[in-house]
Amino acid sequence: MKKNYRSEFNRLQKMTKENYEIYYYSDSHFQSVSPHVHDYYEFYFPVAGKIEMEIEGKYTPLSSRSVAIVPPGTVHRAVTETDERSYCRYVFWISASYYRRLSAQSEELAYIVKRVESDGKYIYHFKEHEYALIQSKILRLIEEESMDRYGRSVFAGIMISDLIMTLSRLAYEQDHPKHKEKEIDLIQAMIGYIDRHLDEDLSLETLGEQFYISKYYAAHEFKERTGMSVHQYIVKKRLERCADEIKTGKAVSRIYADYGFTDYSAFYRAFKKEFHLSPKDYQKVYLHDPMYPGRQKDAHGND
């Protein structure tokens, strides 16, 4: 963590605040606690270390991308095989009354807790990019709690709703796998946006903001659906656009910078790898015989 937000572990495990508490624990010699119950909801996020969660007598191994949700009155405990290893985790407690007030805003926000209480699905395991999104929201809340700034309680309430809604959304999507058509639609929309804005900033942050998704989700879904990274696709399309410009006879030195290549030597290497000719040779050959680059590409077994 960039800042030291570590809390000392309190084995009494009792809330001292009215609505919620959030902690980052890091222990060098963690010892398993005895089975116990709370009168509040506990969200348990392991970060590092080998741990199992015992809930109502059932043991489940947790990874660094798991979350355990323990409702009030549920017997549980964290168990380690040895106390010689370090163990890090985030722990979020929210009182039953405060949770009811938040969940009254929307049934969608309450999904993950309702799933736990109705079906006993206490533990979810997330993908790496999904957990990165969850962790970013946990850290924002911890950071907000560490500062004494105007409107802290209001911002904290918003962040708590955001965290629980994110967990509920990811849990719902895990329980109800999306249709492939919807996933493909997102990638097609991203591809269309990239193709229309090749001369603009196309960072993962920009794409995430454009499509209201995290940059990790954008990168993961794009690679999974297309077989190439977002960066690889953008470079490929920019090279193709540069090739089209080069065919018009326009000076190469006036082209590459227009499509995000800040260094000519890098552009030269990428262009030659893609088209098997240097930019200037490509222009000379194309102007002499417009069909040649296509034949050259075919001769190398591409496309």
d(CA 195, CA 273): 21
pLDDT for res 282 = 87
pLDDT at 12: 56
Q: What tokens appear for 129 in the block?
A: 């990019």
Q: 212's torsion region: left (phi>0), alpha (psi -120 to 50) or beta?
A: left
pLDDT, position 75: 95
Enter the pTM of the model: 0.57
Retrieve residue 89's tokens. 């985790």
Q: How far apart are CA 210 and CA 262, in angstroms?
A: 24
How high is the pLDDT of residue 185? Answer: 77
Cβ pair 196, 144 in contact under 8 A: no
CB 8 within 8 A of CB 27: no
pLDDT in tens, the chain (303 residues): 444 455 554 555 678 889 999 988 876 666 667 889 999 999 999 887 778 899 999 999 988 889 999 999 999 988 876 554 567 889 999 999 999 999 898 889 999 999 999 989 999 999 888 888 898 899 889 888 888 889 888 999 999 999 999 999 999 988 887 654 555 578 888 899 999 988 888 888 888 888 878 888 888 888 888 889 999 999 999 999 999 888 888 888 888 888 888 889 989 999 999 888 899 888 888 776 655 544 444 434 443
Burial 199-216 (b: 16+ CB within 10 A, else e): eeebebeebbeeeebbbb
